[in-house]
Structure 1
Amino acid sequence: MYPQVTSLSLNDCDQKMAIIESLLSLTPSLMHLTIVGNSNDLFHGSRWEKFIQTKLLHLNKFQFTFQSNINVNHDLAGLESIIQSFRTPFWIETKQWFVTAMCVQHLSVINLYTINDCASKINFRPNANKITRSTASTKIGQEIMQTVREISLDINEMQVDLTEKAKKSAYCFYNRLTKLRLQIYENWPDGSLGLLSSFIDLSTITDLTLDVNIVENDSSNITTGITALLQQASHIKSLVILSHTLSLHTICSIISHHIKHLQIPVTSIKDMKLILNQFDHLFSVSFTFLCKSIVSITEITELLVTKGIDFTYHLTQFSLNLWLSMNKEEFLNSC
């Protein structure tokens, strides 16, 4: 027995429920439990309820994400059959642990996850093929979504037809986000900014990550779209660009004056010098090397000394991190 354990996380857990029960029986004082698992028999709310009521009497926070190819229909009736055992007074009233079952019709798996007040980060899939059922009421679901601080989504999945656009008012409005990650693998679809702003308050975003994988010849509409996004999301201070395809010229056209912390890919010392000469308002820059590592940064340090800029740096095999006119502690305070 391990009565001193009050918090436990099980990640990438592929064990059956019986094994998990045996393990958790050794932690009777457990108060916080997080499980990420992929076994079919984890989907039974009645079994969890009985086990918690007899073995985990002190448990007050239970977070889980289960994924499985459980044999049910991928429709509302099938999802309802999964969450029905989580609709008892124990789950809804006593513990107030609400769950959602979700499937994307062209995929074989079903996801079951808690939506309690710790849901600070989500992967958002707005496409029409997503089906969900939840034990939370619409009001409770909206209240819970106010705790979300970070969203990741594929911008190309935002290409919606008129039917989907008519449904967009059903999306939760996220008005407390601080971090937004956009995956752009094809182009920047027309109307994407309007759709984004229909369910996200862009004025609260402070950190933007752009994961871009497109042909450089197709980058003009992406430049226009991202520029418009940065104009509307005027409180963004940190910009991370992850790309092997965008040219430095395109990247430079995206960087706005209110960006203070920048992470971009480079191929040479010349690229780094161009950024440092062109953007003198940055507090920090992280250069990630696309090809071979850059052994010597003498030209960079000499440039900063010539410009009269105080700096601290950290060089690794894959990147160069620069803190400009401040030490690391001041940098952290500026985030």
Structure 2
Amino acid sequence: MSDIIPLFQHTPYLQSLNIPLNKLTDSYSGRLPLFLSITMLKLSNVQSSYVLTTILKSLPNLTHLKVNISYIDYDGYRWSRIINDFLPKLKFFHLKMHIHFCDEKNTRERINQLIDSFRTRFWLEKHQWFIRCDCISKDNYTCILLHTLPYTFS
């Protein structure tokens, strides 16, 4: 995170950014300043909910967000709070989330709760952002790929 701050400070007219975040950890404890010029952001390989939230809080003028996260269990309610609280100008939201469940007895119930959290007025009526959920189950392991539609990826 400490490398990102100088980048933002030395590029005040930066409007678009693509950041792979798999190397960033929760060890950064500071607050990022607001970066008002950035309107488009693509985050890939996000594995820290703290890093994700810290970055999004600093970008209030985002209109386009594409985010690919793994091992972060954000439901539709949490995403809607983040968008309402920190991203008021967001118009285009593309999400790809990998969620893993191991040896859970209530996996099907948790999946249904996750999908239901994206079936609110915020998602369906206000923004018309729709999701799809694909499940792969093997032995005691379930992998979920939840993504907004349309979302193209390999």
Decide which structure has greater helix share. 1
8 Å Cα contact 1:33-1:59 kept in structure 2: yes
Structure 2 CA distance for aligned equivalents of residues 14 and 66 of structure 1: 10
Residue aligning to 1:108: 142
Q: Letter of the aligned partner of 1:4 in structure 2?
A: S
Structure 2 CA distance for aligned equivalents of residues 102 and 78 of structure 1: 14
Flag structure 2 segments of 5+ consecutive residues without an equivalent.
1-33
8 Å Cα contact 1:40-1:70 kept in structure 2: no
Decide which structure has greater strand share. 2
| Deviation digits for residues 30-74 of structure 1 (CA, Å, limit 9, x no counterpart) | 0000111112332x1111111211210100111011112146645
Q: Which has the higher contact order (CA 8 A, sep 6+)?
A: 2
Match of 2:113 among 66, 74, 81: 81
| Deviation digits for residues 109-158 of structure 1 (CA, Å, limit 9, x no counterpart) | 11111113xx3x456xxxxxxxxxxxxxxxxxxxxxxxxxxxxxxxxxxx
8 Å Cα contact 2:48-2:72 kept in structure 1: no
TM-score by structure 2 length?
Answer: 0.68
- After the TM superposition, which residues 23-172 of structure 1 pair with which residues of structure 2 at under 5 Å, given as runs? 23-42=55-74, 44-70=75-101, 73-75=106-108, 77-106=109-138, 108-116=142-150, 119=151, 121=152
Tell me the number of residue pairs that the alignment of Structure 1 and Structure 2 aligns.
Answer: 117
Local SS of the residue matching 2:117: helix
TM-score by structure 1 length?
Answer: 0.33
Residue aligning to 1:15: 48
Structure 1 CA distance for aligned equivalents of residues 101 and 36 of structure 2: 34
> RMSD over aligned Cα, in angstroms?
1.9
Q: Letter of the aligned partner of 1:31 in structure 2?
A: T
Structure 2 CA distance for aligned equivalents of residues 67 and 55 of structure 1: 23
* Cα drift, residue 101 of structure 1: 1.7
Q: 1:122 to 1:13 in 2, by over 3 A?
A: closer
Q: Letter of the aligned partner of 1:99 in structure 2?
A: I
Q: Give the number of the structure whose alpha-carbon radius of gyration is greater.
A: 1
Share of identical aligned residues, percent? 27
Flag structure 1 segments of 5+ consecutive residues without an equivalent.
124-335
